[in-house]
Amino acid sequence: MKNEAQKSKSLWYHAWESLVSDKMAVTCLIIVLAYFLLAILSSLGLVASDYAKEIGPSYAPPSSEYLFGLDIFGRSVLAKTIKGTEVAMSVGLVTGIISMIIGVFLGAVAGYFGGKIDEVIVWFYTTFNSIPYIMLLVAITFILGKGILAVYLALGLTSWVGLCRLIRGEFIRHKDREYVQAAAAIGGGDFRKIFKHILPNVLHIVIINFSLQFQVAIKSEVILSYLGLGVQGRPSWGTMINDAKLELARGNWWQLAAATAAMMVVVLAFNILGDALRDALDPKLKGK
Amino acid sequence: MKFTCIGLCLIAIFVTFPSCTKKDNFKGLSLNLAVSSQVKGMDPIYANDRYSSNEVARVYEGLLEYHYLARPYKLVPNLAESMPTVSNDGLTYTFKIKKGVMFQKNEAFGSEPRELIAEDFVYSIKRLADPKLQGLGWWLLDGKLVGLNDWRKKYSELPKADYSEAVDGIRAIDRYTLQFKLAKPFPQFLYALAMPFTFAVAREVVEKYGKEFLNHPVGTGPFAIKDGVFKQTKKIKYVKNLGFRKKKYPCDGSEKFKKEGLLEDCGKLLPLVDRLTVNIIEEDQPRWLNFQKGKVDFIAIPKDNFDTVIPDAKNLAPDYAQKGIKLIRSPSIDVTYTAFNHDLKLFRNVKLRRAMSLAYDIDTANKLFSNNQALPAQSVVPPGISGHIEGYVNPYRATGRPEQIAKAKELLAQAGYPEGKGLEEITYDCPNATVSRLTGEYFKKQMAQIGIRVKVQQNPWPELQKKITTRNIMAYGIAWSADYPDAENFLQLLYGPNRSPGANGSGYNNPEFNTLFKKAAVMQDSLERTALYEKLNRIAAEEVPWVFGVHRQNFVLRHSWLKNFTNSDFDAGMAQYLSVNKAKKEEMLKKL
């Protein structure tokens, strides 16, 4: 590691270089960062904190005064969309982290140790994978009550299996490689081998998976809130789309448009970014 | 396979539609109705939803019915010769039934016409109580008639109920005299006799068809099912009952109907049409399109089409008016409300309840959720039934004026929560539907004005019901519709001993109210009872056990050719009074 001061570039530097050379990917990265920024500002109460305030007549259409129009209570659809961004991004982040921690840990342990441990974990995730997340959510809400915490847990606990499978496969491939044997030869323990040696070599999979998981979680949150199972008592893109169900017969399209556009842009950005990350990070795709 | 099926369906549609529009060679009058739900069958004892009971009431009849053109709703004799004589203690009801009323022809009767006799009612009502049949209307008579519960209990153990065993509570004294003995005073008993559950069936027919009786309706009513068999199809066809007794169109009615010319057919023999077709169309939009094409004679306006049909929320849009379509609006006998759980100490504080009610602007709610067409409720009893106080304004009913908000804040402070300090967050539970959630959000917003924090929580309908019955709830939004037009049906919602799992979901318990209610509930209809009802209604208003919502309105459109139509909350048997102007229909169909 020390020697890299000479000429050779690290894998991460390579990846970064290839990522920034892709204009599309950079644009998407900026979009995603902008959503994050907006979510942080809104959670700090710096923007859209007055979303519940009545600022004009019921169902005012979009105009220069009311940028995205107003909803049934005369609340700003723009402010609601921003508040919805906060919910969506937090759900994406927290579920992504939950599923990453569980997936990486179980996948690594199963792949590295093999044998009985592997069998148990494989049995566990195949069983777990057969629980639809809506069912799990309903079960969790019985304990925790409805709300964002239940959504985090339900989505996080049901989305780690894909990552776990990938990591397990990678660990099985890597554990007999020379560098791992070398680590063992100089006296490295299992823990050190897993986290210090093998994990950095499969980290790109985790990153790619995280970015893809993020947008799946956002979409799921919208569906759950649309069904009335998700966040309660605060705006979410899902509840906005649910509101629009009635409004459309009156010809009021703006709430639907705002929520779907906000969702589409961030999901699209994450998808493109995920692909770009894969291109940049996966050594097998190098030099293509 | 799938492709074939879809293809066939498409062909079927194309074939049926032109055949409907092609010129009808039928000489008589035909009436076309649309209903929005499947019908369970044609057995009166299973008719526990509005759709099934309406179909049952076309073929079968009961002792009493609601006067078609009287508002407030009034019971009049139907198969009974006159209203019953009631004993002084209010427990014995004696009916004379009409002579010479014939059942519709059926093989079960052989070739002889079969006359309706008092014994048929005894049989039909025992059938409702028969434990082997599990009739869905048993709740109506449960514990009400002397000996009927014992009879039911006895035969629930045995393989078959014995109808020949006499029950004291219901006896045929002679061929045309029927006597009911009540176990306890129940002045609303007569309403039960206007509900399809208690309509008369003939024993021979029931025994001939057994389980299939459900599909072989044979009554005394104005219409008979075509070909004698009810099939689960999307179209139920009826023909005029040619042997129907000489029942005449009413010659009296409320002033409003006189002015509208609904009494023109006075004295004509019923039913007024020769054929009746009921189309079962479950989805709103196809039903709506069928109405626009003139294939259905009247329709309740689907919620989503409200704005296009009544753009200013008052008058019909010109393009509908030009087609001769008329709008009929009528109040429906119901009340919406936000209930508090009075088990919680919090809500036993009347000042808090009053403050919350004063913070809730009902006019804006009406505008947002009812197109400004509902009537803000001042108390629990809706207009149209005695007990409702005309012109009464609840002092704690708010319309969003600043002084009301100021008063609400003052009351909140007096209640011990100045500006909402010290008050816990109130959870408001509502069903999953979008409108329910928005109503909840509106409540939250209104309460926020005076510093009360509310959390809106959505639930599937059964879960909400469960929360209410287990009393695991703080506040919730709900509505109540009348079972029968009597204030008792509404006031019982606040009667302490009725607390849930009974109908009193809020668990409101006020000794004064309870005493008065207990007294009024067993009184016969009288001025004295009305005065009591009004007093109870006033207590309910000022005590604010709930935040009252609105009394809703029905909006129905009818085509120009449909005669005698008026909206009713109790519309079983309505079809016999309706008529069609054939010339007008042919003329107007061209314009549609």
pLDDT value, residue B4: 35
pLDDT value, residue A285: 67
B295 touches B580 (CB < 8 A): no
Contacts of A23 (CB under 8 A, 6+ apart): none
CATH number at residue A157: 1.10.3720.10
Nearest to A246 among B305, B434, B441 (CB): B434
Q: With contacts defined as CB-CB under 8 Å, which chain B residues touch A224? A: none
Q: Report the distance separating Cα B182 and Cα B93, nearest Å.
A: 8
Radius of gyration of chain B from its Cα atoms, rounded to whole angstroms: 26
Q: Report the distance separating Cα B395 and Cα A275, nearest Å.
A: 65
- According to DSSP, the β-strands at B334-340 and B475-481 are antiparallel
The total number of residues written for chain A in this structure: 288
Q: Report the distance separating Cα B269 and Cα B250, nearest Å.
A: 10
Q: Report the distance separating Cα B13 and Cα A165, nearest Å.
A: 51
- What is the value of pTM for the model shown? 0.74
Q: Which pair of structure tokens corresponds to residue B259?
A: 């002015």
β-partners of residue B34 are B279
The more confident residue out of B20 and A82 is: A82
Among candidate residues A164, A156, A44, A48, the one with its CA nearest the CA of residue A104:
A164
Instruction: State the helix-helix crossing angle for A115-129 and A77-113, rounded to 10 degrees.
Output: 150
A19 touches A25 (CB < 8 A): yes
CA closest to A235 among chain B residues: B441
CA closest to A51 among chain B residues: B445
The boundaries of the domain holding residue A145 are 2-286
- Whether omega before B511 lies within 30 degrees of 0, making that bond cis, reads no
| pLDDT tens digits for range A11-68 | 778 888 888 888 999 999 999 999 999 999 999 988 888 888 888 888 888 988 888 8
Q: Which pair of structure tokens corresponds to residue B272?
A: 């007024």
pLDDT value, residue B285: 78
Q: Report the distance separating Cα A92 and Cα B305, nearest Å.
A: 38
pLDDT value, residue A36: 95
Q: With contacts defined as CB-CB under 8 Å, which chain B residues touch A242? A: 434, 437
Please tell me the distance in Å from B332's CA to the nearest CA on chain A. Answer: 23
Angle (nearest 5°) at CA B508 between B502 and B512? 110
Most A CBs within 10 A among B368, B441, B447, hence the mutation to make, goes to B441
- List phi, psi (to 5°) of B35: -125, 160
Nearest to B434 among A52, A58, A243 (CB): A243
* Residue that has been written with the tokens 């032109």 in this structure: B18
Nearest to B307 among A72, A227, A249 (CB): A249
CA A262 vs. chain centroid, Å, equals 16
pLDDT value, residue B151: 93
* Cβ pair A233:B368 closer than 8 A: no
Q: Report the distance separating Cα B264 and Cα B270, nearest Å.
A: 14
The more confident residue out of A31 and A3 is: A31
Q: Total domain count for chain A?
A: 1
* Cβ pair A239:B437 closer than 8 A: yes
ipTM over 0.90: no
pLDDT value, residue B578: 94
A110 touches A122 (CB < 8 A): yes
Chain A, window 126-185: residues with a beta carbon less than 8 angstroms from a chain B beta carbon = 146
* Cβ pair A243:B438 closer than 8 A: yes
pLDDT value, residue B24: 56
Nearest to A242 among B304, B368, B434 (CB): B434
Asked if the C-beta of B424 comes within 8 angstroms of chain A's C-beta atoms, the answer is no
Most B CBs within 10 A among A53, A59, A72, A149, hence the mutation to make, goes to A72
Contacts of A33 (CB under 8 A, 6+ apart): none
CB atoms within 10 A of CB B423: 18
Please report, as a single letter, which amino acid is at residue B9: C
Q: Report the distance separating Cα B492 and Cα B468, nearest Å.
A: 16
* Cβ pair A250:B307 closer than 8 A: yes
* Cβ pair A146:B458 closer than 8 A: yes
Q: Which pair of structure tokens corresponds to residue B538?
A: 């006033």
Nearest to B457 among A54, A232, A242 (CB): A232
- List phi, psi (to 5°) of B288: -65, -45
Nearest to A58 among B368, B444, B455 (CB): B368
CA distances from B542 to A140, B358, B396 (A): 42, 12, 7
Among candidate residues B539, B41, B39, B571, the one with its CA nearest the CA of residue B328:
B571
Please give the mean pLDDT across all residues of chain A.
Answer: 88
DSSP per-residue string spanning B488-550: HHHHGGG-GGGBTTSSBTT----HHHHHHHHHHHTSPSSHHHHHHHHHHHHHHHHH-SEEE-E
pLDDT by 10s per residue, chain B, length 592: 233 333 333 333 333 344 444 455 678 899 999 988 788 889 999 887 778 889 999 999 999 999 999 887 889 999 999 999 999 888 999 999 999 999 999 999 988 889 999 999 999 999 999 998 888 888 788 888 999 999 999 998 888 889 999 999 999 999 999 999 999 888 889 999 999 999 999 999 999 999 999 999 999 999 999 988 998 888 999 999 999 999 999 999 888 888 888 999 999 999 999 999 999 988 777 888 899 999 999 998 876 778 788 887 778 888 899 898 999 888 888 899 999 999 999 999 999 999 999 999 999 998 888 878 889 999 999 988 888 988 899 999 999 899 999 999 999 999 999 988 899 999 999 888 788 888 999 999 999 999 999 999 888 877 888 888 888 999 999 888 887 888 998 998 999 888 877 778 899 999 999 999 999 988 888 889 999 999 999 999 999 999 999 998 888 999 999 999 998 888 888 999 999 999 999 999 888 8
Please report, as a single letter, which amino acid is at residue B168: D
- Category of B217 on φ-ψ map: left (φ > 0), alpha (ψ -120 to 50) or beta: beta
Q: Report the distance separating Cα B306 and Cα B316, nearest Å.
A: 10
CA A132 vs. chain centroid, Å, equals 18
Chain B, window 456-495: residues with a beta carbon less than 8 angstroms from a chain A beta carbon = 456-458
pLDDT value, residue A249: 67
* Cβ pair A233:B432 closer than 8 A: no
Name the strand (E) or helix (H) holding B13: helix B2-21
Please tell me the distance in Å from B457's CA to the nearest CA on chain A. Answer: 6
Among candidate residues B464, B511, B517, the one with its CA nearest the CA of residue B489:
B517
Q: With contacts defined as CB-CB under 8 Å, which chain A residues touch B307? A: 249-251
CA closest to A147 among chain B residues: B457
Please report, as a single letter, which amino acid is at residue B493: L
Most B CBs within 10 A among A58, A141, A246, A256, hence the mutation to make, goes to A246
- List phi, psi (to 5°) of A45: 80, 15
* Residue that has been written with the tokens 């092609």 in this structure: B22
- Domains of chain B are 334-551 (3.10.105.10)
> What string of H, E and C letters represents the secondary structure of chain A?
CHHHHCCCCCHHHHHHHHHHCCHHHHHHHHHHHHHHHHHHHHHCCCCCCCCCCCCCCCCCCCCCCCCCCECCCCCEHHHHHHHHHHHHHHHHHHHHHHHHHHHHHHHHHHHHHCHHHHHHHHHHHHHHHCCCHHHHHHHHHHHHCCCHHHHHHHHHHHCCHHHHHHHHHHHHHHCCCHHHHHHHHCCCCHHHHHHHHHHHHHHHHHHHHHHHHHHHHHHHHHHHHHCCCCCCCCCCHHHHHHHHHHHHHHCCCHHHHHHHHHHHHHHHHHHHHHHHHHHHHCHHHCCC
Asked if the C-beta of B571 comes within 8 angstroms of chain A's C-beta atoms, the answer is no
* Residue that has been written with the tokens 């799990």 in this structure: A136
* Cβ pair B368:A73 closer than 8 A: yes
Q: With contacts defined as CB-CB under 8 Å, which chain B residues touch A148? A: none
| pLDDT tens digits for range A241-266 | 988 877 776 778 999 999 999 999 99
Q: Which pair of structure tokens corresponds to residue A18?
A: 């290839």
The total number of residues written for chain B in this structure: 592
Q: Is the C-alpha dihedral spanning B460, B465, B470, B475 positive or negative?
A: positive
Sheet holding B177-181, edge to edge: B85-86, B92-96, B177-181, B170-174
Q: Report the distance separating Cα B574 and Cα B565, nearest Å.
A: 9
Note every long-range contact of B245-249, with CB atoms under 8 Å and residues 24 or more positions apart, other chains counting.
B245/B98, B245/B100, B245/B101, B245/B102, B245/B220, B247/B222, B247/B576, B249/B564, B249/B577
Q: Report the distance separating Cα B300 and Cα A262, nearest Å.
A: 38
* Residue that has been written with the tokens 């009400």 in this structure: B144
Angle (nearest 5°) at CA A14 between A9 and A18? 150
Res. A216: pLDDT tops 80: yes
Q: Which pair of structure tokens corresponds to residue B373?
A: 């067409």
Q: Report the distance separating Cα A14 and Cα B71, nearest Å.
A: 85
Contacts of B389 (CB under 8 A, 6+ apart): B378, B379, B381, B534, B537, B538
